[in-house]
Amino acid sequence: MIILISGLIIIWGFTEAAYLYVFLTGGNLAAYESLLVPAIAVGATAALVLCFLYSRLCRKNAQAQRTKIRLGREEIAYLLILAVAAAVTLTHFAGSYVVDLSDAVYEMAINTAQSGQLAAQHPFTGEFVGNIPMRLKILGLYALYAAAMDMTGLPAYTLMGQIVPALVWLLHMGIMLSLGRTLLNGRERYLWLFVSLAAVIDLATAHIDGMIGYRLFYAGFSGETMRAAILLPYCILCCCRKRWLPALLCVIAEATLVWTTYGVGYCALVIAAFFAVNFWQNRRERT
């Protein structure tokens, strides 16, 4: 899962670089679309090469930590709970529901696809204004959605209300599975309980505004949801396994997905906290 998410972040980095190049040179959506497919192709190639080299570098540690997952009666029961949660979640994304428009990314993508102009709206209010802070202009997620809608003909609701949230939820569950294997090392009988509880919490908080379940179910397209559901647990996973380079990728991805003060967000705080704990433990062992 570390390799998969790292590869996706690298691909996103190349699409963001294409967006920044077009935006800073005064281009429009059509110019961005002309660079999008090559950027994804180059990003995928770079992701394959870099992730392969990094996995070779970390292979010895990965083999030492690898454990087999055994399925008993309790594990099968937890798997059934997880399967029911997955069925309810995917059925929700396949149906019709009200999309949360609190961060305006949804409307920004629609208006950008219609107007062909980049960064014409304020990401918080959705209003067409001329003076938008540069820290907000560099967030290119809305442009990716607009380009995808324009190039494929997908409706906004299908792309941002159904496809993207389902993918975000599946990646979230995959990360929680890997995180559970790391935190419960040697106690794999509780692994599926850990993942099932995570899925049940998502369902239980689906109607509580501001909770992770609500953001997954009604704003799965937003950068804030991707930070909460993917980047933060993935950053914790990387720090637990002492994979610092993938953890740093989370910091960069967060700065280009979500508005944060000076680009320093929660992922940077997570890494700093792990470094502080490791420093304290090492100092305690020496004394």
Q: What is the residue whose two structure tokens read 């996995």? A: 55
Q: Angle between the 191-204 and 73-94 helix axes, to the nearest 10 degrees? A: 30
Q: Which of 29-38, 92-101, 127-136, 186-195 has the lowest mean pLDDT?
A: 127-136
User: CA 220 to CA 216: how far, in whole Å?
Assistant: 4
Amino acid at 65: Q
Confidence of residue 77 (pLDDT cuts 50, 70, 90): confident
What are the distances in angstroms from CA 36 to CA 15, 39, 83, 121, 145? 6, 5, 36, 21, 11
- pTM metric for this prediction: 0.88
pLDDT at 220 over 80: yes
User: CA 181 to CA 192: how far, in whole Å?
Assistant: 9
Closest alpha carbon to 201 in 229, 223, 220:
229
Confidence of residue 55 (pLDDT cuts 50, 70, 90): confident
Q: Mean pLDDT over residues 62-90, rounded?
A: 75
Confidence of residue 64 (pLDDT cuts 50, 70, 90): very low
Closest alpha carbon to 173 in 51, 10, 1:
1
Positive or negative, the CA dihedral 139, 145, 146, 151 is positive
What value, to the nearest 5°, has the Cα angle with vertex 205 and ends 81 and 237?
70
Q: DSSP letter at 153?
A: -
Confidence of residue 124 (pLDDT cuts 50, 70, 90): low
What are the distances in angstroms from CA 216 to CA 6, 47, 175, 212? 21, 26, 15, 6
Check residue 46 and give left, alpha or beta (phi > 0: left; psi -120 to 50: alpha): alpha
User: CA 67 to CA 111: how far, in whole Å?
Assistant: 49
List the beta bridge partners of residue 128: 121
Q: What is the CA radius of gyration of the chain?
A: 20
For the chain, the helix, strand and coil percentages under 3-state DSSP, each to the nearest 5? 75, 0, 25
- List strand residue ranges (DSSP E) for the chain, in order: none
